[in-house]
Amino acid sequence: MGSENKNLKRGKTGFGISNNFMLLIILVIVFIIFSFLDKGFLTLYNISTMFRNLVVTGILALGLTPLMISRGIDVSFGSNLSLATVIIALLYNSGLNIFLSMLIAVLLSTAIGLVNGLIIEFFNLNALIATLGAMSIYMALALVISNGTPVGITSDVLFKLSFGSFLKIPIPVWVFAFIILIYYFILSFTVAGRTVFVIGANPIAAFSCGIRVKKVRIILYGLFGLVIGIAAIFLTGLIGTGSALHGVDFLLPSLSAVLLGGIGLSGGSGTIWGSILGITIISTIFNGLTVFGIPSEISKVLQGLLLIIIVSIYEVRSKKIRE
């Protein structure tokens, strides 16, 4: 009886060390491999560029984490992201102040997140399928608004935001770290944060305890929309265009990162740090692949396979633990 409970404890792997520690080991191994293959890997310039590029994926995965912990999911974030970048570009190009453009885009992406949450919770839909449908709608919307072509945008403010550094650390990384701290604080130290875990572990019990499950989930969807907007700002700044087609490239990496970090689809457990490690590992690997000239098609294949492998490993392991 006692040993069963020990195995079911959150974060335990079959090896007797915590999940996050295992991921940390994997990350270190990946870093070591890449620093052997590429002499310039461990320079400050390279590391900061890598982190600057992983911010978008990272922010997305960060917003997805509490949502998935509460047994919700939203795969439409790629299209939401695309739509926000298109909005920023179009508004600014039509003469609107850059800050106003960014604000409107963030408000819009938050609204989209809330709409997702409302529809899913109100109609009790399967979140995965419903947001799959939502994904195609928002992408179509982005295509309609941008008329199918990417919208270029050049703004000094945006450029400084995305490429600037403060104390040698890129500004996007500062923002990312800030968001990490906020999420960590809320999830670990506030009652509201802890209810997210309870909802994920056992929604029915949570409801019996008086927790407004639906309301919390809707808020999480909206919060996810908010961070999508922030990520969109950096994405637009980094690539200089608002395009309806770029968002879908972030779907698999961010989702894989969260799943790698130990947030299972069944929710209830997981930590922010797990997701961070997941993001870092995945971004480092794929960034490294690009640096070594591996074409994007092969990256795409690997992304798909990696997603399946990650989930399979966790699935096999949880089966072993259950035995």
Partner 1 sequence: MKNTINKNIFIRFNPFSSKSISPTLVIVYFLMAAFFAIKNPIFISLKNYQTIATNAPIIGIVALGLGMVLLTGNVDLSVGSTAGLVAVISALILRNTDFPIMVVLLIAILIGLVIGTINGLIVNYIGVNSIITTLGMWAALKGAAMIISGGTIYFSNKGFQLISKGFAFGIIPNVLIYFIIIIILMYLTLRYTKFGRNIYLVGANSISARAVGINVKRTKFLVFLLSSSFAAFAGILLVSQFAGAAYNYGTGWEFKALTICIVGGISLNGGRGTYVGLFLSLLIIGSLSNGLTMINMPIYWRDFFEGSILLLAIIIDSFRVKNFKEDT
Angle, nearest 10°, between helix axes 251-260 and 272-291?
130
The secondary element (H helix, E strand) that includes residue 99 is helix 98-123
Residue whose token pair is 């797990």: 274
Q: Which is nearer to partner 1, 14 or 148 (CB)?
A: 148
Q: How far is the CB of 266 from partner 1 (least distance, A)?
A: 9
Q: How far is the CB of 285 from partner 1 (least distance, A)?
A: 15
Q: Which is nearer to partner 1, 51 or 286 (CB)?
A: 286
Q: How far is the CB of 103 from partner 1 (least distance, A)?
A: 25
Cα 232 to Cα 49: distance, rounded to the nearest angstrom: 18
Other CB atoms within 10 A of residue 268 CB: 19
Q: How far is the CB of 150 from partner 1 (least distance, A)?
A: 14
Q: Which is nearer to partner 1, 8 or 316 (CB)?
A: 316
Q: How far is the CB of 309 from partner 1 (least distance, A)?
A: 8
Other CB atoms within 10 A of residue 304 CB: 12
Q: How far is the CB of 35 from partner 1 (least distance, A)?
A: 27
Query: Measuring CA to CA, how many Å separate 145 from each of 132, 176, 208, 246?
Result: 20, 29, 45, 15
Cα 222 versus chain centre, distance: 14
Paired tokens of 174: 């500062």
Q: Which is nearer to partner 1, 170 or 288 (CB)?
A: 288
Which residues contribute to the site for partner 1 (CB under 8 A)? 75, 119, 123-126, 128-130, 132-134, 136-137, 139-141, 143-144, 147-148, 252, 255, 259, 265, 295, 297-308, 311-312, 315-316, 319
Q: Which is nearer to partner 1, 179 or 213 (CB)?
A: 213
Residue whose token pair is 């209810």: 195
Q: How far is the CB of 79 from partner 1 (least distance, A)?
A: 10
Q: Which is nearer to partner 1, 160 or 320 (CB)?
A: 320
HEC string of 138-185 equals: HHHHHHHHHCCCCEECCCHHHHHHHHCEECCEEHHHHHHHHHHHHHHH
Q: How far is the CB of 237 from partner 1 (least distance, A)?
A: 25
Q: Which is nearer to partner 1, 56 or 130 (CB)?
A: 130
Paired tokens of 30: 């990946």
- Contact present, 105 and 84 (Cβ < 8 Å): yes
- Contact present, 75 and 128 (Cβ < 8 Å): yes
Q: Which is nearer to partner 1, 170 or 242 (CB)?
A: 242
